[in-house]
Amino acid sequence: MPDPHGPALDTYRTRIEGQPPPTPAHITLVPPTVTPGSRVDGVVAHVSSVASAHSPFSVHLRGTGTFRPVSPVVFVGLVDGSTSCHTLAADLRTGPLRSEQAFPYHPHVTIAHDLPDARLDEAYRALATFEARYPVAALTVYENRRGSWQVVDEFPLGR
């Protein structure tokens, strides 16, 4: 997420969770996926190919939602851009990123995770009026290196 929206959500999440988030504010398209080192190049090529086949789009975030009671998560929801995220996620979750998912895909930006209910309720209320609009022009791939998520590369959308 671009400035000022992403950093604002990161600051809020750091405050509510008591530590910086593991990655900057983002919309996940593919959940963390274990990939043997020898196959990382194939994953990167796959993401590059999918990104080039999709056009840039706009996202409009507004309000909060939650996955409770199934999962202790509060998030900011998408009012626009959801269809593009669903299409990208479906295309990315093929080939080397194919895996069974426990839950249906639901694009969102996490703002609180794994906290007591009272703190989740606080996050839900605090960002209920949050709103942001921004263009999405690229996909970013992260890799977990010794417990820290690091950017591998960024791939522009479109050819």
Count of alpha carbons within 13 angstroms of residue 26, beta-carbon side: 15
- Please report, in tens digits, the pLDDT of each residue of the chain (159 residues total): 999 999 999 999 999 999 999 889 999 999 988 887 778 889 999 999 999 999 999 999 999 999 999 999 999 999 999 999 999 999 999 999 998 888 899 999 999 999 999 999 999 999 999 999 999 999 999 988 888 888 989 999 996
Q: Do 16 and 110 form a contact (C-beta atoms < 8 A)?
A: no
Per domain, the residue ranges of the chain are: 5-141
- Say whether pTM exceeds 0.95: no
Please return the burial class of 3, using the count of CB atoms within 10 Å of its CB with bins 0-12, 13-18 and 19+.
exposed
CATH code 3.90.1140.10 for 5-141? yes
CA angle 121, 125, 131 (to 5 degrees): 135
Closest CA to 153 of 59, 43, 57: 43
